[in-house]
Amino acid sequence: MTGREFLELDSPQQRLYLERLKRMEVIEKILNELPKADQNLCNHGAYFLGANASLLGLAANNFFRNILHVRRASLVSALPMAVIPFLSTVAAYEVFVRKPLFSGELNCEVCAVVRGGLIGAVVGGLYPVFLALPMNASLAARYSSSPLPGKENLLRFWLTTSRPVFRKTSWGVLIQVLTGLYLATKHHGIYIKVLQQMNASRVPEQLQA
């Protein structure tokens, strides 16, 4: 190994990476020592947000099917409306809230709560409703279940069709916002517990030193 390679391995970026990795290992170890209720909420809390997104997607899919008089391919339209919103919501919450929080990259409570509310509103609430629109539009066109307008009236037609669906699902979107806010608040509280235990474990080490 040359001297230059050694210096590169011992660079500030390398040390920062190693310190962050060590911090994540300590946090993970403390998380495993917390009460089961905190562990379950930390590891599986986003699934509730994803399950609500699935229900909202299925409800929006049903509303659009009734409006467009689509009677065929019920399973084909229901399956993606249950799976895609669930996976998207859980992944978005994991990437933007839980992972940054428990890796030490997100220390601001307000930022975490705002992120949770936005993910609940956009990914877990509005996205499933928007996803149901093109799916059922394609089914209506394929099976000719409802007369569709020409290109000149297309935008007005879909705005009129979507308005009652968004009105009926508005309560579901509100529930998703509140669920996202609640989860982010609880996860930040668990993160504070982890920090307190980390600080408590450092005090005996400093006294011994």
AA letter at 158 = W
How does the average pLDDT of the chain come out, rounded?
85
CB neighbour burial string for 94-115, b if at least 16 within 10 angstroms, e if fewer: eebbbebbbebebeeeeebbeb
Q: What is the pLDDT of residue 177?
A: 97
Of the candidate ranges 85-89, 134-138, 150-154, 190-194, the one whose mean pLDDT is the lowest: 150-154
Q: 50, 85 in Cβ contact below 8 A?
A: yes
Q: What is the pLDDT of residue 202?
A: 59
Residue 176: closest CA among 118, 98, 129: 118
- The token duo for 49 is 């947000």
For the chain, give the percent of residues with pLDDT over 70: 87
Give the angle 140-170-63 at the CA atoms, nearest 5°: 25
Residue 206: closest CA among 198, 26, 30: 198
Q: Each residue of 29-44: pLDDT tens digit?
A: 888 888 888 889 988 9
Q: Each residue of 104-161: pLDDT tens digit?
A: 788 889 999 999 999 999 999 999 999 999 999 888 888 887 777 777 788 888 888 8
Q: Each residue of 159-180: pLDDT tens digit?
A: 888 999 999 999 999 999 999 9
